[in-house]
Amino acid sequence: MGPRVLLRRLREIMAEPLDPQARLDRIVREIAANMVAEVCSLYVLRADSVLELYATEGLNPGAVHLAQLRLGQGLVGTIAASARPLNLSNAQEHPAFAYLPETGEEIYHSFLGVPVLRAGRTLGVLVVQNRTMRTYREDEVEALETTAMVMAEMIATGDLARLTRPGIELDLRRPVSFTGQAFNDGVGLGHVVLHEPRIVVTNLFNEDSDAEIRRLDNALGSLRLSIDDMLSRGEVNFEGEHRDVLEAYRMFANDRGWVRRLEEAISNGLTAEAAVEKVQSDMRARMMHMTDPYMRERMSDFDDLANRLLRQLMGRSPDDIAAALPKDSIIVARSMGAAELLDYPRDKLRGLVLEDGTITSHVVIVARAMGIPVVGQLKGAVSMSENGDAVIVDGEEGAVHLRPQSDVESAYAVKARFRARRQQLYRELRDKPAVSKDGVAVDLLMNAGLAVDLPQLADSGAAGIGLFRTELQFMVASTFPRAETQERFYRDVLDATRGKPVTFRTIDIGGDKVLPYFKTVAHEENPALGWRAVRLTLDRPGLLRSQMRALLRAAAGRELRVMLPMVTELGEIERSREIIDKEVTHLSRFGHLLPTSLKVGAMLEVPSLLFQLDELMQAVDFVSVGSNDLFQFVMATDRGNSQLADRFDPLSVPFMRVLKQIAEAGARSDTPVTLCGELAGKPITAMALIGLGYRSISMSSASIGPVKAMLAELPVRALASFIDENLAGVSARLPMRALLQTFADDCGIPL
């Protein structure tokens, strides 16, 4: 018998009115007969990370529900942990082999085990064994993987829950709490929407392979046409980040290798929809172990494309998908692009959970602009979640509670109501001036980087954009954005700000900001200290020239503020100015209208500039302090290292002294200084910055309300004296954060 006959027999068994154990016993017997195997066994993953034998043909039947292996233990545990098949001619020689005497499997040599996968998540392991030493053929591996999909549906639909012993749950249903990194403040209560896949396939078996391949061809044709249509629309041309993502999808939609794998799965008896799900599930499981950011990004593109193809096959439009989303959707994803997040209706989003991502990922920046809580660096979140699961996202603590117990849910409901009352207060402050209790004015600016950020300028009441990250436009593109595209984008930004100041940071790539289409150094031991930012653009001056030309033309008749990232020595400013001056001369020669004024600044994030502060202030029109990088370089602390994340406090005496020196140098030379970074976005750290002398700080739009509320109650002069006293002498040994908290409590300042 072949895989098509086996799938037909399984479908018949699934339709019969059997209790779950009898159905499982029949299924493993059928698989063993089809594959001419003496053993077929199904292990199911429990909530306590134990794989329990649920059914067997060939092993000791008394071992069912008694034989157990921990995740990672033995061959079965290894398959479950790695989500990869094992095909062995002599299983007992494998270093992971673990002998379970109750099963009687010692007489079997050849072994083929495949993970039972659903949406890339391991729910169990399906195994066949023979006494003879043989290696199973590729078509047999494929057949067993296809069969494992059927088992995954049985587990996911809860059909096996009745077989569990009292007090034991399958891995699918237990409450789980994760702790990751808080990427955006807020609390979200809602239900899981798995970003991959968004569509659950229930129709698995085909009646006619040729007809299914025709359906696949038609759907692929429609998909390609829809992508072409989206690319030709005016609004997509206007929004550069969407266009670039779609260009990548068009390329992948014509990938022959992908289409060939889909056709092979259909030939083995699956429907076109099930073939798409199987190919993507296999790819996801393999890609989980890849660390290369380019490869993971390509996987996200294929995932999104597969979901669009499923919608074509199932006749469901994006509007239907949006309508089916719960009104309290919390997106759970391994990783995703900014454009993909924008596909979701904003009024239904309550939070975002990412397995990957960093605070500077463009999807995180877009989510912050949308004002939804984000928690990242949560390995395993996707595999532990099912669509519709209750979930809580705590963007303050960096915690996620999946299928929470009722007492946890009640506590967070109270917390969410309290936050809603505070948000109303912040909205009332929006149009009021940012002035302290004792009359000190502070410019509260916002950080931005994409078109989606711009509406937040008016909504938040920000005084302007203190940091516009121009590299995000490059990071969401599949090819290098042309000068005309850049110019149009920058002009749109300036138009949207309606005369409020905007500081454009020149392209800051390298380090952890990878452009897949731009070849950088093959491998750097420490990319954060490597070929990046202004170092890279001075070595590749064409990058800076084309960007400056676009900025100068976009700012015609208006002020243009440009800031150079990661400056290490003053010579880099001089060389950059020479490039900028040449572009000004070039445009002037050809009669282009120029900006009314051009101000060039530097980002102070490399400690070497601390020893040439007065010279720096004379060399530029303004300085922006990049507190994120400056802190990691001053304290020799990788901010992406979870083991060091809480070891050193930015509100420590050494770092506060550094920040004070910078503010004083700016005041001496009358050079404006703005601090852009995570420090500006929390009320207690923003309070410290104002006490150190900063009168301009830039943060995410969602932070402006809480910081303005703090400022309204802040006696700045008293705070400055308090900080001066505690940064000097014996007092400097005390923890500054605790002292600042006490000061705030005594003065009734909301933090």
Residue 202 has pLDDT above 70, yes or no: no
**Average per-residue pLDDT for the chain:** 84
Q: What is the pLDDT of residue 319?
A: 58
Catalytic residue among 40, 242, 401, 676: 676
What is the maximum span of the chain, computed from C-alpha positions, in angstroms? 90
Written as one string, the DSSP assignment of 139-165 is: HHHHHHHHHHHHHHHHHHTTTTGGGSP
Rounded Cα gap, residues 448 and 456, in angstroms: 9
Mean pLDDT computed over 178-207 = 79
Confidence at residue 165, expressed as pLDDT on a 0 to 100 scale: 67
pLDDT exceeds cutoff 90 at 76: yes
Ranges 147-156, 230-239, 441-450: which has the least confidence: 230-239
Inter-axis angle of helices 701-712 and 683-691, nearest 10: 60
Please determine, for residue 94, whether its predicted confidence score (pLDDT) is greater than 80. yes
* β-bridge partners, 649: none
Tell me how far apart the alpha carbons of residues 717 and 317 are, in angstroms, rounded to a whole number: 59
8 Å CB contact between 674 and 624: yes
Q: Tokens 């004070």 appear where?
A: 660
Amino acid 178: pLDDT: 84
The secondary structure element, H or E, covering residue 466 is strand 465-469
Q: Could you give the strand order of the β-sheet that contains 374-376, starting from the edge strand earlier in sequence?
A: 176-179, 399-402, 390-394, 187-194, 329-333, 349-354, 374-376, 181-184
- pLDDT exceeds 50 at position 236: no
User: Which residues lie below 8 Å from residue 287, measured CB to CB, with a gap of 6+?
Assistant: 295, 296, 299
For residue 645, what pLDDT band results from cuts at 50, 70 and 90? low
Which residues does 207 contact at the CB level (< 8 Å), separation at least 6?
Answer: none
The ranges assigned to domains in the chain are 3-163, 176-418, 436-747
Per cent of the chain over pLDDT 90 is: 40
Report DSSP state, residue 481: P
pLDDT of 684 higher than 90: yes
| pLDDT at residue 339 in the model | 60
Contacts of 229 (CB under 8 A, 6+ apart): none
Token pair of 268 as six digits: 């083995």
pLDDT of residue 238: 42
368 within 8 A of 182, measured Cβ to Cβ: no
Q: What is the pTM of this model?
A: 0.61
Res. 615 pLDDT band, cuts 50 70 90: very high
DSSP three-state, residue 624? strand
Nearest to 187 by CA among 445, 400, 506: 400
Using omega within 30 degrees of 0 as the cis cutoff, is the peptide bond preceding 197 cis? yes
CATH architecture for the domain at 176-418: 3-Layer(bba) Sandwich (3.50)
Task: Give the DSSP H or E segment for 26.
Answer: helix 20-34
Residue 336 token pair = 């995703």
Task: Fill in the amino acid letter for 541.
Answer: P
Same fold, 176-418 and 436-747: no
* Residue 362 designated active-site: yes
- Between the two ends of the chain, the Cα-to-Cα distance in Å is 70
pLDDT tens digit sequence for 691-709: 999 999 999 887 899 999 9
pLDDT in tens, 121-130: 788 999 999 9
Q: How confident is the model at residue 242 (pLDDT cuts 50, 70, 90)?
A: very low
At 550, which amino acid appears? A
- Looking at residue 378, its pLDDT comes to 85
pLDDT at 67 over 60: yes
* Catalytic residue, candidates 195, 242, 362, 401: 362
- Return the top range by mean pLDDT from 164-178, 476-490, 509-523: 476-490
Of 34, 7, 23, 4, nearest in space to 128 by CA? 34
**pLDDT over threshold 80, residue 375:** yes
How sure is the predictor about 247, in pLDDT bands with cuts at 50, 70 and 90?
Answer: low
Top-confidence residue, 359 or 325: 325
- Where are the alpha helices (H) located in 233-361, listed in sequence order? 234-238, 240-253, 256-267, 272-287, 293-313, 318-324, 338-342
Most confident of 45-54, 62-71, 529-538, 606-615: 606-615
List, edge to edge, every strand of the sheet that includes 39-45.
68-70, 50-57, 39-45, 121-130, 110-118, 86-88
More confident of the two residues 159 and 408: 408
CATH number of 436-747: 3.20.20.60
Instruction: Say whether pLDDT at 86 is over 90.
Output: yes
Residues 6+ apart with CB under 8 A from 633: 605, 606, 607
Contacts of 250 (CB under 8 A, 6+ apart): 224, 227, 228, 231
Average pLDDT over residues 421-438: 87
The CATH superfamily assigned to 3-163 is: GAF domain (3.30.450.40)
Q: Treating both helix axes as pointing N-terminal to C-terminal, what angle do 483-497 and 240-253 enclose, rounded to 10 degrees?
A: 140
Query: Is the pLDDT score of 290 beyond 60?
Result: no
Higher pLDDT, residue 497 or 249: 497
**pLDDT surpasses 80 at 316:** no
What is the crossing angle of helices 272-287 and 209-232, to 10°?
Answer: 70
pLDDT at 456 over 50: yes
